[in-house]
Homo-oligomer: A and B are copies of this chain.
Amino acid sequence: LVAARAGRSGRRAGDSGTSEAILEAARGQFAEHGYRGATIRAIAAQAQVDPALVHHFYGTKDALFAAAMQLPVVPSEVIATAFESGPPERGLGELVVRTALTLWESDAVKETFLGLVRSAATDEAAAFMLREFVADSILGTLARVAGVTGTRAEVEYRAAMAATQMIGLALTRLVLKLPAVAQASVDELAAAIGPSVERYLVGDIVLPDRFAGIGRG
């Protein structure tokens, strides 16, 4: 494979099918190795191109995953943009809720969310791939830009608690369309739900005892 890549990458760099070949290789590698285990190097090898070309076309692994899965946006980029002035002194949770709800107004995002929920509920391999993308790319970025502190296990737990709230908000608003949630405005939901998200990320929550000592001292 390495030989094939080295021998053919020059020839294929300009092919019109190259970007599609990269996406196809990416889908294969993500499905087989998960989001975490798939590497740009292995994706390039399978697509028989140079890894630099993958970076050139798609940038980061987050962005390549988003392109391969036909996500209409790169979630980590949306989150980073919302927090580009740093975490706000007040209303951190409201900012998270407001950013998500505003994004979900788009029909393309709604459709994509439905498709992802269907896949995750139908196919364990899809759930696996998505789980790592949510944990590493989406929640990892959120924890970083929102200034969540603690040991690695604590930061992951806090971000995961926020995910239980945000994914439920998406499901009840976009899929189940529970009337009180579907009819509420962005402002109303940000005001009601923001404090929960903020508590999970940076507030006073009970952390599991088993984290005590891990990654400390």
Name A's B-contacting residues (CB within 8 A).
114, 117-118, 120-122, 127, 130-131, 134-135, 153, 156-157, 159-161, 163-173, 175-181, 184-185, 188, 191-193, 195-196, 199-200, 205-208
Contacts and interface: CB of A to CB of B under 8 A. Distances in A.
B180 A160 contact: yes
A177 B159 CA distance: 14
Contacts of A130: 176
B179 A206 contact: no
B196 A199 contact: yes
B178 A192 contact: no
A176 B134 contact: yes
6 contacts: A118-B118, A118-B121, A156-B179, A157-B180, A161-B192, A168-B171
Contacts of A127: 175-177
Given A120-B176, A122-B118, A164 B181 contact: yes
A198 to B, nearest CB: 11
A185 B178 CA distance: 28
A114 B208 CA distance: 27
